[in-house]
Structure 1
Amino acid sequence: MNAPEPPAPENPVGGLPLHDLAGFAHRWVDADGVRLHAVEGGRPDGPAVVLLAGFPQTWWAWRKVMPGLAERFRVIAVDLPGQGHSERPYGTYDTHTVAAYVHAAVRALDVSTYWLAAHDIGAWVAFSLALKYENRLRGLVLLDAGIPGITLPDAVPTDPEAAWKTWHFAFHLVPELPETLLTGREREYVGWFLAAKALAPDAFDDAEIEHYAAAFAADGGIRASLAYYRDAAASARKNHEALDQRRLTLPVLGVSSSDGSIPDMAASIRPWADNATGIVVPDAGHFIPDEQPDAVATAIAGFIADND
């Protein structure tokens, strides 16, 4: 793990160590008034692929996938608002609002059209972004995500065999109590998610757990992370308001895993999209980019080749 460095003038999260990835550079851009962090590399003249991570991770979740895409594509991993080294603004975190920030960040990097791949909460934002800016997207890849109003079950199960996968949705909605219980215990909380939801409990080492826990704890990270859940009802409502006007027509790939949260992403997406296909990645839990990065890179590259 890299040692903490003095914050760059544009970095809104001072004191949080920056992690470098060979061949990639850190960027910060003004996204309609919110400063977002992006990590960019690959072929400057290649098709752009934008990557979004979910809870409780940062762009670092894609670090094993990015080199596999870099030979053919311009690869840009973006920290969502409240995530990693992006600003943690106050206000709404409904996914249509956040999608506008992400799209503005991509445009600020001089990208006009792009492929978008996203996991977990990143996929929540990506689905809403596709509804708002479909004419700017070339295709959409969604990995194992309970998207509000789309693939998220209507009720949290009470059977202990299943409840552990989604119990946190209700917990995160409770005002103030999660912050009280989690402050000072960020490592234990983040570590539970990474160990419990991966297929192999040792899929993440101590350094990775420390990295994600530090980002979760830093400068309003808990507040911002929970805000996505607390605004999930608004996200679902805005998704359906948009879908009342039209369905998605761009190519969509739903990526599930053998031991993930959503057994068939493609089937869950098809009611809302005209051109949805799916794959299941074997030998993986919820954190598919970490657990099977080569399979994810191959799936994204193949999807682009099939639909370019």
Structure 2
Amino acid sequence: MNDPARAPRPSGNPVGDLPLPNLAGFTHRWVDADGVRLHAVEGGQPEGPAVVLLAGFPQTWWAWRKVMPNLADRFHVIAIDLPGQGHSERPDISYDTHTVAAHVQAAVEALGVSTYWLAAHDIGAWVAFSLALKHQSRLRGLALLDAGIPGITLPDAIPTDPERAWKTWHFAFHLVPDLPETLLTGREREYVGWFLKVKTLSSDTFDDAEIEHYAASVAAEGGLRASLAYYRDAAESAQKNHEALRRQRLNLPVLGISSSHGSIPDMAASVRPWADHTTGIVVPNAGHFTPEEQPDAVAAALTDFITEED
């Protein structure tokens, strides 16, 4: 019997055993991003302004599937799976956000994009902030959606008040050596489902198939390790963010997108101490997973941000 782990990966897909969903009008691509193979989904207007989208935990590029068609009429749209996420490679590397950001920037360059707008949610926003610090000249603007960015928008102490602690308790849990792996291996579906059910304003936002999709990505080889590594390397991410900020501030346009029932009440206010040109909006009737809870509002906010700043 052939070993599936050694079977050729179709089209260079490093996670070929994971089901690959398609989105009408968009194409799957894999690129060598400075030694890490990253998955991108590309569509829209090739000659239009480029918009790069990054998702967070416990999701994949699929988190943007309802937003991408709304952007495709005007923009060149690229959603990228981060290292360890979705159909990107799951290497045993540092997952501090500056290291990851270098791979994301390499992927964008490999796709032939020189300058672009960057929009990112959750851990994707952690990476996006660090990428902006290192590659500010490549970005035309930065949109950050409901994210506790290490050293930036993440509180110094995790709240213990039960009314708030449920939003951030997992930061400490993910840091514990070995225990999360022991408790979560084989139960990824239950764990991922908790986040998708509890951290949305409406618990029926995600159906069973969508929960299974995200859980399968975490459960695939290397997925849980990589997911936890982002949190375990968060202190290094915060340190590198502040080292960079001692040399410069962000002076590109920044949009903070909060949600009415999200984790960070005011993204713009949290980012403003580090960025000179920051505006913000609050998306109503949404919890943490704003791109799927209110995709039309997110697409409209991004379109307005890009066209006004452009």
Q: How big is the shift at 1:219? A: 1.1
Counterpart CA distance in 2 for 1:6 and 1:298 is: 41
Which residue is equivalent to 1:207?
A: 209
Counterpart CA distance in 1 for 2:233 and 2:168 is: 16
TM alignment of 1:213-224, pairs within 5 A: 213-224=215-226
Contact 2:257 2:280 (8 Å CA) reproduced: yes
Q: Among 261, 276, 293, which residue is 1:259 paired with?
A: 261
What are the ranges of 5 or more consecutive residues in structure 2 without an aligned counterpart? Answer: 1-6
Contact 1:11 1:28 (8 Å CA) reproduced: yes
The question of 1:132 aligning with 2:134 is answered yes
Contact 1:6 1:15 (8 Å CA) reproduced: no
Q: Partner of 1:193: helix, strand, or coil? A: helix
Q: Among 41, 56, 59, which residue is 1:57 paired with?
A: 59
Counterpart CA distance in 1 for 2:286 and 2:15 is: 32
Q: Among 285, 302, 305, which residue is 2:304 paired with?
A: 302
TM alignment of 1:219-298, pairs within 5 A: 219-298=221-300
Q: How big is the shift at 1:9? A: 4.1
Q: 1:89 is aligned with what amino acid?
A: P
Q: Partner of 1:123: helix, strand, or coil? A: helix
After superposition, the C-alpha distances for 1:28-79 in whole angstroms (9 at most, x for unaligned) are: 0000000000000000111100000000000000000000000000000000
Counterpart CA distance in 2 for 1:204 and 1:6 is: 33
Q: Among 63, 69, 72, which residue is 2:74 paired with?
A: 72
Q: Partner of 1:278: helix, strand, or coil? A: strand
Q: 2:110 is aligned with what amino acid?
A: A
Q: How big is the shift at 1:14? A: 2.1
Q: How big is the shift at 1:6? A: 7.8
Which residue is equivalent to 2:3?
A: none
Q: How big is the shift at 1:260? A: 0.2
Q: Partner of 2:10: helix, strand, or coil? A: coil
Counterpart CA distance in 1 for 2:9 and 2:109 is: 24
Q: 1:20 is aligned with what amino acid?
A: N
Q: TM-score, normalised by structure 1?
A: 0.98
Q: Partner of 1:276: helix, strand, or coil? A: strand
Contact 1:173 1:226 (8 Å CA) reproduced: yes
Number of equivalences = 304
Q: 2:140 is aligned with what amino acid?
A: R
Q: 2:304 is aligned with what amino acid?
A: G
Which residue is equivalent to 2:21?
A: 19
Contact 2:11 2:30 (8 Å CA) reproduced: no
What are the ranges of 5 or more consecutive residues in structure 1 without an aligned counterpart? Answer: none
Counterpart CA distance in 2 for 1:262 and 1:137 is: 24
Q: Among 34, 37, 46, which residue is 1:35 paired with?
A: 37
User: Which aligned segments of 4 or more residues in structure 1 are displaced greater than 6 angstroms?
Assistant: none
TM alignment of 1:169-188, pairs within 5 A: 169-188=171-190
Q: TM-score, normalised by structure 2?
A: 0.97
Q: 2:202 is aligned with what amino acid?
A: A
Q: Partner of 1:250: helix, strand, or coil? A: strand
Counterpart CA distance in 1 for 2:63 and 2:75 is: 18
Percent pairwise identity: 80
Q: How big is the shift at 1:91? A: 1.8
Q: 2:286 is aligned with what amino acid?
A: A
